[in-house]
Structure 1
Amino acid sequence: MVLETILSPHRRSASFKKQFPRDELGSWSTLLQRHRFLLTALVLLVFLCTVYLYFAVTLGATGSCTRLTGAERAQCQLEHVKSSLSKGKLKLT
């Protein structure tokens, strides 16, 4: 019963309507203004993750098997996996 009075659209006060007009709640410009810091932080995070992934992929692929092709590369990678397992840790290259 209390929940009905809280959620009822007929029970809202006039000050609530003045504080948040209906057209202002859904406009994109209002959303951008209110969440500018979060959006800036999100853009910065995406940029830094992209840079990190670029360098992780380009610099991380400098193993001894990178210039080999076909069966030679598969054999080289298999030897690396066997040596990693024998040391007690699994490191994929």
Structure 2
Amino acid sequence: MPKPTRTSRRTWVAAWVVLCAAGLAATAGLNDSLAPDPRPERSVSAECAEYVADIERQLAKAKAEQEGEEDGVLTFSRVQVGTRDDCGDELRDHLRGDR
């Protein structure tokens, strides 16, 4: 019975290095291709910009008033009757920091 040829450790290590590098390259390529598209810039209506600026002013005023207090709740209520423009998304993006 013929003896099988023995492969050296260096050959095995080199094969594993090549396979790992190929796997990392394939993973990086897939991650780049699956990255979400950047959000397009949306135009904010003048009414929404005014509304967001008003909220910012109220927040700054409340923060200045609560410097010494421990707890507090700040609430906003503004009823917009008859407007088609909903500023909820713009306000949410602004407050999250997606400015």
Q: Under a length normalisation based on structure 2, what TM-score does the superposition of the two structures give?
A: 0.32
Higher relative contact order (CA 8 A, sep 6+): 2
Greater share of residues in helix:
1
